[in-house]
Structure 1
Amino acid sequence: MSALRFGVFEVYGPQVGGTLSWPHPLSDSIDFADPERWVRLARVMDAAGFDFLFFADGYGYPIVGDDISADAVVQGINFSGYDPATLLPVLMRETSELGFVVTATTGIDHPVQLARRFSTLDAISGGRIGWNIVTGASQNAVAELFGHDGMVPHDTRYAMAEEYVSLARRYWEDAWSNDALVADRETGVYAQRSGIHRIVYDGDHYRSRGYYGAPPTPQRTPLLFQAGTSPAGREFAARHAECVFVQATTPSHTASAVADLHRRAGDAGRMTPLVTMAGLTAIVAETSAEARELADEFDRMQTDDVVATLYAGNTGIDLRTLDPDQTLHQVLDAGGPIGQMGTSNIERFLGTPDRPAPTVREILDELRGRGTRGFRLVGDPTEVADGVEELAASTGLDGFLIEPVFGTRDVAAFGELVLPILRERGRLAPRRSNATFRARMQEPSPVAPVS
């Protein structure tokens, strides 16, 4: 039996997962501008034993045609929000063990700017920060916002990310020797000159020649997360990521993706463990009937417009403009945008020898209420705990990223009702004070059941 890791997926905006739930009376996500809302959530997570709070982020938004989606604006679907990195220091001061992961896109700024920001967050938190590496999302909107002539091709973004991450790691890992920082009042020596090293990097996309001013932090390098599911994304993850978010479709498909990632990591000569996780929408209540009523209330809020808005933002394809009785091949036949945006969410619906391509109508039905969400469990505490263990066993995943439907209410319910059951079954690692985020996430999996 092995320990499972649990995070919570959030955005510094109206709602999570590209679905509609903020108007529900149980949800507090519309209060996202109030820092106290996030302090309450972080305290609940820290007390319950969650491993980390994860913030997705990006500059993009859904575009339909050549303009912002009206539905995205009206219903708050992947539109509106602040920079979560600026919120984290507040939450770090209010927690003692909770890890934090924030998304930052490669290619938006120079690696030295990102490296300095994450060094600062690692210092403030005492070694509890992670970086979710993304190469871009809603690239059509981002290209317009930043004044680019067009979208950067998918594989070029990964080539740029390779250099970006490699250079950032040079700053974190090579710029200061372990004994360089002295800070001795009696001698008046701040740092040893021999321990400060010039970073020289000359790549195709990034160049740097100079010294990194941020002293080493508890982790030096933030814990590296990544979620790319394309072949290029998996190769990148195998070389750099320490924790990978795997797309949750069916247990068998997810199991294949997990196995593929571990194979690629082995081929890349990785010596450090690779932790795999997937999204999980868990609607849990004291009784099954209560949980299913909550799930029904959420489902009744979802519409074709919500689904199509999210899908357009991710892929550049507006499903509502297509023949509902045809497949996505109608887009490819017309020279559509496949290859630059949301490749995994296009390719998954193109069909395989074992599964015919679904129609547009079937895609809308499949994605309704799911959005970018992963697996879904609904039930009482024991049913949900059983479901978590079954998913872990059938997929090989090391943990799950809880995707709240009703904000803090869902996180508190999972923490109060489900995590204690999993802890009693020996599925949670013992909490270790003063350990870094990396040490906690990478500790050996086997744990003894609580007696």
Structure 2
Amino acid sequence: MKTLHFGVFEVMGPQVGGTFSWTHPLSAGIDYLDPAHWIRMARIVEDAGFDFLFFAGGYGYPIIGDDVSRVAVEKGINFAGADPDYLIPILAQHTSTLGFVVTQSTGLDHPAQLARRFATLDHLTGGRIGWNIVTGASQNAVAEVFGHERMVPHDTRYDMAAEYVELASRLWEEAWEDDAFVADRATGVFARPDGVHRVVYDGEHYRARGYFGTPPSPQRTPVLFQAGTSPKGRAFAAGHAECVFVQGTTPARTAAAVADIRRLAADRGRDPELLRLMAGMTVFVAETEEGARALESEFDALQTDEIVAALYAGNTGIDLLALDPDRTLHQVLDAGGPVGQMGTSNIERFLGDDAPTVREILDQLRGLGTRGFRVVGDPVQVADRIEQLAAETGLDGFLIEPAFEPADLQAFGDLVMPILRERGRIAAGVPGGTLRARVTERAGGDRLGDAHPVLRASRVAV
């Protein structure tokens, strides 16, 4: 029986998923600027047996027309955000096994800057860090904030990302030999000069000719996470990611995405079963199904069409409320709209022969936002549904997307995780001290390994 892996999807903001919930009495999300809030959450998550705490992030925000969405500002819908990188060293001091995954875009700085940042975090956490690789989000807003004249085209962003990851990985993996860091007080030798190497990289988008000054960390390369189910995103994930987040829409569509990514990984010479594929999941659980349904109803009552439209515009550049509600999204294509440059997977899911109308999209996304599967019930019902979804989709685990944090995370940890553990769906013990060993379930599996396509490519380049 396959074990399942669990993470918690978070942002350093008042709420996740582009939905509205921070005003609910059970939610402490508005305390997101208080380190004590996150320390409490990290302890709850670690005690429950989650593998990692995942932070989404970025500089974008929802734009409606030519300006920021007023609803996004008023309600804090993907607008209020701080930088979670600085939380990680604090949380690492209050946990011992929990992993931390942070999101960094490949298009806003040089790979050498990111490489030093993540090497530092890997040292400070004792090898418990992961990098969620994104090519950008809300690119129209990001272009404005950074003063770019236009958005970088979708496919070009992925071409840039491939070079970005390869160069960063070469800095982590090739700049220092394993025994080059000496730190010998008696001899005064800090490092062996013949064990530290210049990295030379000449790409179309990024170049480097120099030394990487940060000694190797426990994992060297952070665990590589990636999200994106567009055709280009799937291809990138198959060639680069160790953990892949796919969109949890319907079991059938998710299963198709999972199978396609594994096929693409096999085509690149990778063992497709070594990839960990996960999807988001919002869980309303209580001692009784009636209690869980009540929580779900209270959450749904907070959502509006305006909130849905603000989130969707931020992700795709499309204002649903400006469209004909009785027609499908094909009206945007027919008018030469922005389809294909932002939120591709969140657009393509609503196209095709069975495409819903705009009115139906608003109804479908209300209370869902960018969230994945929704599961509601008593502890046994929730555990049963999780196992059923894993079987139907081929997924290796789920990211729990809290609605009323951290109360619902505590409930999930207290009520559901023990059942899954008893059924053998949660790995017993931790195979190693690093995040990579934990998610791969391989004792001593701390390193990326030469078989990874990124490092195979760099060996050829050398």
Q: What is the TM-score of this pair, normalised by structure 1?
A: 0.97
Unaligned runs of 5+ in 1: 446-451
Quick one: distance in 1 between partners of 2:259 and 2:355?
Answer: 24
The C-alpha deviation readout for 1:82-133, integer Å capped at 9, x for no partner, is 1000111100110000000000000111000000000000000000000000
Distance 1:433 1:311 in 2: 40
CA deviations 1:198-256 (Å, max 9, x no partner) are 00011111110000000000000000000011111111111110000011111111111
Aligned match of 1:349: 350
Tell me what 1:325 maps to: 326
Any idea what SS the aligned residue of 1:119 has? Answer: helix
Q: Hey, what does 1:80 align to over in structure 2? A: 80
Distance 1:434 1:443 in 2: 8
Cα distance in 2, alignment partners of residues 255 and 391 from structure 1: 9
Helix, strand or coil at the partner of 2:416:
helix
Task: Establish whether residue 29 from structure 1 lines up as the match of residue 55 from structure 2.
Answer: no
Secondary structure in structure 1 of the residue aligned to 2:18: coil
Give yes or no for contact 1:247–1:279 (8 Å, CA) kept in 2. yes
Which segments of 5 or more consecutive residues in structure 2 lack a partner in the other structure?
A: 444-462
SS at structure 2 position matched to 1:281: strand
Q: Specify the alignment match of 1:3 in structure 2.
A: 3
The amino acid across from 1:338 in the alignment is V
- The question of 1:291 aligning with 2:292 is answered yes
Q: Which amino acid aligns with 1:404?
A: P
| Identity %, equivalent residues | 70
| Structure 2 match to 1:438 | 436
Task: Give me the whole-angstrom Cα distance separating, in 2, the residues matched to 1:210 and 1:444.
Answer: 34
Tell me the SS of whatever aligns to 2:54.
strand
Partner SS, residue 218 of structure 1? coil
- Conserved 8 A contact 2:431-2:437: no
Tell me which residue corresponds to 1:448: none
1:197-212 matches, within 5 Å, as 197-212=197-212
Aligned to 2:394: 396
Q: Distance in 1 between matches of 2:427 and 2:419?
A: 13
8 A Cα contact 1:351 1:358, kept in partner: no
Matching residue of 2:308:
307
Match of 1:419 in 2: 417
In structure 2, the residue matched to 1:410 is 408
* Correspondence for 1:385: 383
Shift of 1:435: 2.0
Q: How far apart, CA to CA, are the structure 2 residues paired with 1:324 and 1:444?
A: 51
1:406, distance to aligned residue in structure 2 (A): 0.2
* Greater alpha carbon shift after TM alignment, 408-417 vs 263-272: 263-272
Question: Is 2:333 aligned against 1:335?
Answer: no
Q: Tell me what 1:224 maps to.
A: 224
Deviations 1:44-85 (A, max 9, x none): 111111100000000000000000000000111100111000
Kept after mapping to 2: 8 A contact 1:239/1:265? yes
Deviation at 1:433, TM superposition (A): 6.8
> Which letter maps to 1:262?
R
Secondary structure of the corresponding residue to residue 281 of structure 2: strand
Out of 370, 373, 377, which is 1:372 matched to? 370
Residue type of the alignment partner of 1:443? E
- Separation in 1, partners of 2:220, 2:428: 24
Higher mean alpha-carbon deviation, 429-438 vs 48-57, is at 429-438
Give how far 1:322 is off. 0.6
Question: Is 2:167 the counterpart of 1:145?
Answer: no
What is the CA–CA distance in structure 1 between the aligned matches of 2:433 and 2:71, rounded to whole Å?
A: 45
1:298-340 per-position Cα deviation (integer Å, ceiling 9, x unaligned): 0111111111010000011100011100111111111100111
Separation in structure 1 between the aligned mates of residue 280 and residue 425 of structure 2, nearest angstrom: 18
Distance, in Å, in 2 between the alignment partners of 1:359 and 1:423 is 42
**CA–CA distance in structure 1, aligned partners of residues 89 and 113 of structure 2:** 18
Q: Quick check: 2:175–2:199 contact (8 Å CA) kept in 1? A: yes
Match of 1:375, as an amino acid? F
CA contact (8 A) 1:53 1:101 kept: yes
Query: 1:432 Cα shift?
Result: 2.0
When structure 1 is superposed on structure 2, of 112-121 and 427-436 the one drifting more is 427-436
SS in 2 for 1:96: coil
Q: Aligned partners of 1:52, 1:291: CA distance in 2, in Å?
A: 25
Give the drift of 1:186.
Answer: 1.8
Give aligned pairs, total: 442
Q: What's 2:39 paired with? A: 39
CA distance in 2, matches of 1:44, 1:349: 37
CA contact (8 A) 1:278 1:401 kept: yes
Partners of 2:328 and 2:409 in 1: how far apart?
37
Distance 2:330 2:386 in 1: 36
Q: 1:449 maps to what in 2? A: none
Q: Secondary structure at the match of 2:100?
A: strand
Letter in 2 for 1:94: H
SS in 2 for 1:213: coil
Q: Contact 2:17 / 2:370 at 8 angstroms: preserved in 1? A: yes
Give the partner amino acid of 1:359.
T
The letter of the residue matching 1:93 is: Q
- In structure 2, the residue corresponding to 1:312 is in which secondary structure? helix
Distance 1:289 1:384 in 2: 13
> CA contact under 8 A between 1:49 and 1:431: conserved in structure 2?
no
Contact 1:244 1:275 survives alignment (8 Å): yes
What is residue 455 of structure 2 aligned with on the other side?
A: none
TM-score with structure 2 setting the length: 0.94
TM-fit CA distance, 1:174:
0.5
Aligned partner of 1:344: which letter?
S
SS of residue matched to 2:130: strand
